[in-house]
A and B are shown apart, each in its own frame.
Chain A
């Protein structure tokens, strides 16, 4: 079997960090409804996006990923009332680490994905994949 990636040449690998209670169920729902997005998008679920280390994001790029997307809980986070601010802080710290390594900051995106946000999630993935395809693979030598 040949994957879409092989046929079209470059298909960016995207790592999505989702959250156990909110965004991961939303991403599940996209699958349940057979809404398609690129198979080079993979999800890793954590309890809360405020627990992500900026270093993990950098590590993803160093491991060959082309984009990282944080599907956060936004205002809905039941664990931390200031989750959105905490996650934004992590994103800016990661952006700094990325800049220092010559990585374009656009390769890291964050958006709130709710537990029924199937369509928005798929749209985010389409747009993000398109953008990363235009940018091409990570070129620096980590």
Chain B
């Protein structure tokens, strides 16, 4: 399963207190096309015992991970439904109460249309809020058996969360957003907003580790038939595989043939996503083994450019072939095409490079588009922490081999797939590196700064402020010195890039270690005649 949520939304008639004025069926229908709203129901009395039992059953049977009840004021029944969530083993804070009685039906008994529209808006807002990933675990938390060891992603996360709970030195804030960072290395002060509330939590921190992950590529409508029934992305396919047992079915029908199309959304020509996402070949090969183990008769065709099950993952490739998977390689410049057949199936047409470019058409019950990773939209965080973004849109470390988790912002580390595509074990390795690096900084007890920073000659500065605007680190500010406004550079915030030096029309800025005098003297000395 992906980070797609599985929400249950219940809209209460409250006898008629709500439904006499709000068209509850219309509210329900507002979610019929939302793939993350798995259950949308209206109910006569949401708080009735029988309804509560039904909700618990839905949560368990349909693997819901969030609950929204649109009924009366939270002051009345918030606790009731938090209890429902708890009894269904769902985090009670994954539940959102929407007040469509006191604040919609009763307040607008004179305006049915207005009350209904308002109610739809309120429920939509609650659904959006509930969706916002407040669970720990990222993508892994939604996955079943993973390569290479076949352990369940959800279970691995549950183990870690239980481990965290035993350590008083770790505080977890979920549904929390970093809203500001001030101070300098060694003395950062952060503000975090939790559950979208007004007030923020302020904390002094020594280091920050950014592990904000990735998104899965979303194909365009029509790209390899995406949008047709039976054409799924890799996360959508995994969700089906992981949420059922026994022979695979899709929309109630048994799946006899699966065609996998590799490299969707990655390894694109220049200008697109040129990189390889590394995990997808292995994840798909592993999924095909899971499918074959459940039903050996399923036909599985893998249409690929080349298979990158690197290292020991190569063994999975062998096992998948031994279990009957067929691998067909297509030329880079001739990707397969997907079309609907007369009998309601989908069919993939591929040029098989290994049989002399013969064209084959494979009718299938499911076409799985093996979608790779894309950078996650996180522009607020990126500008707040001034994280460097590479040409591929992922965050950049100082050096992939020499300083693989540090960024140019001292004390701010990056880890996991936010740096670029990674498998789980690679993500964990970089996470460990980032915490080790953090521990090194924290255990030292003090922060050591590079002294090679820029300085201003206040006598020469005319206070034009050009340098202030040009520093992306906000290291330069204006101060008053002997009655005049002049620039001052914070030694703790300055990165020592020297970018402000040539910008100063008065030549009033020098970078220590690379001052004007030092640079001119070195240049002259280069050309001095060698001693004879």
List residues of chain A with CB under 8 Å of any chain B CB.
13, 15, 21, 42, 44, 46-48, 50-56, 59-60, 63-65, 75-76, 78-81, 83, 86, 90, 93, 115
Interface centre among A47, A78, A83 (most CB of B within 10 A): A78
- Chain B contacts for A13, CB-based, 8 A: 526-527
- Chain B contacts for A21, CB-based, 8 A: 398-399
Given contacts A47-B514, A63-B526, contact A81 B398 (CB under 8 A): no
**CB pair B452 A47 closer than 8 Å:** yes
B222-241: which residues lie under 8 A (CB-CB) from chain A? none
CA distance A81 to B399 in the complex (A): 16
**CB pair A56 B526 closer than 8 Å:** no
- Chain A contacts for B522, CB-based, 8 A: 44
- Chain B contacts for A55, CB-based, 8 A: 516
Q: Output the least CB separation between B411 and chain A (Å).
A: 15
Q: Output the least CB separation between A31 and chain B (Å).
A: 17
Asked if B523 is at the interface of the complex by the 8 Å CB criterion, the answer is yes
Given contacts A78-B407, A80-B499, A86-B499, contact A51 B511 (CB under 8 A): yes
Chain B contact surface mostly = loop
B501-515: which residues lie under 8 A (CB-CB) from chain A? 501-502, 507, 511, 514
**CB pair A51 B502 closer than 8 Å:** yes
Asked if B520 is at the interface of the complex by the 8 Å CB criterion, the answer is yes
B364-393: which residues lie under 8 A (CB-CB) from chain A? 388-391
Asked if B408 is at the interface of the complex by the 8 Å CB criterion, the answer is yes
CA distance A44 to B526 in the complex (A): 10
How many of B's residues come within 8 Å of A, CB to CB?
30
**CB pair A46 B514 closer than 8 Å:** yes
- Chain A contacts for B389, CB-based, 8 A: 81
CA distance A81 to B473 in the complex (A): 11
CA distance A90 to B519 in the complex (A): 16
**CB pair A115 B497 closer than 8 Å:** no
- Closest-by-CB residue of A relative to B409 is A78
**CB pair A78 B514 closer than 8 Å:** no
Asked if B524 is at the interface of the complex by the 8 Å CB criterion, the answer is yes
Given contacts A21-B398, A52-B502, A78-B388, contact A47 B496 (CB under 8 A): yes
**CB pair A79 B519 closer than 8 Å:** no
Of B396, B498, B507, B524, which is within 8 A of A48 by CB? Answer: B498
Of B497, B507, B527, which is within 8 A of A47 by CB? Answer: B497
Asked if B495 is at the interface of the complex by the 8 Å CB criterion, the answer is yes
CA distance A59 to B526 in the complex (A): 12
Q: List 18 A-B contacts (CB under 8 A).
A: A44-B526, A48-B497, A48-B499, A51-B499, A51-B500, A51-B511, A53-B501, A53-B502, A56-B516, A65-B523, A75-B390, A75-B391, A78-B398, A78-B408, A79-B495, A79-B497, A81-B472, A86-B499
- Closest-by-CB residue of A relative to B386 is A81
**CB pair B388 A81 closer than 8 Å:** yes
Given contacts A51-B499, A53-B501, contact A79 B523 (CB under 8 A): no
Q: What does the 1/0 interface line of B258-289 toward A look like (CB < 8 Å)?
A: 00000000000000000000000000000000
- Chain A contacts for B500, CB-based, 8 A: 51
If A63-B524, A63-B527, A115-B399 are given as contacts, then 19 extra A-B residue pairs at C-beta distance below 8 Å, sorted by A number, are A15-B526, A21-B399, A47-B497, A47-B514, A48-B497, A48-B498, A48-B499, A50-B498, A50-B502, A51-B514, A53-B502, A56-B516, A56-B520, A59-B520, A75-B390, A75-B391, A78-B396, A79-B497, A90-B502
- Closest-by-CB residue of A relative to B388 is A78
- Chain B contacts for A48, CB-based, 8 A: 497-499
Q: Output the least CB separation between B387 and chain A (Å).
A: 10
- Closest-by-CB residue of A relative to B495 is A79
Q: Output the least CB separation between B26 and chain A (Å).
A: 48
- Chain A contacts for B502, CB-based, 8 A: 50-54, 90, 93
CA distance A7 to B502 in the complex (A): 39
- Closest-by-CB residue of A relative to B514 is A46
**CB pair A56 B523 closer than 8 Å:** yes
Given contacts A78-B388, A81-B388, contact A15 B523 (CB under 8 A): yes
**CB pair A80 B524 closer than 8 Å:** no
Interface centre among A47, A52, A65 (most CB of B within 10 A): A47
- Chain B contacts for A56, CB-based, 8 A: 516, 519-520, 523
Of A53, A80, A93, which is within 8 A of B497 by CB? Answer: A80
CA distance A60 to B521 in the complex (A): 10
CA distance A81 to B396 in the complex (A): 11
CA distance A55 to B523 in the complex (A): 11
CA distance A63 to B522 in the complex (A): 10
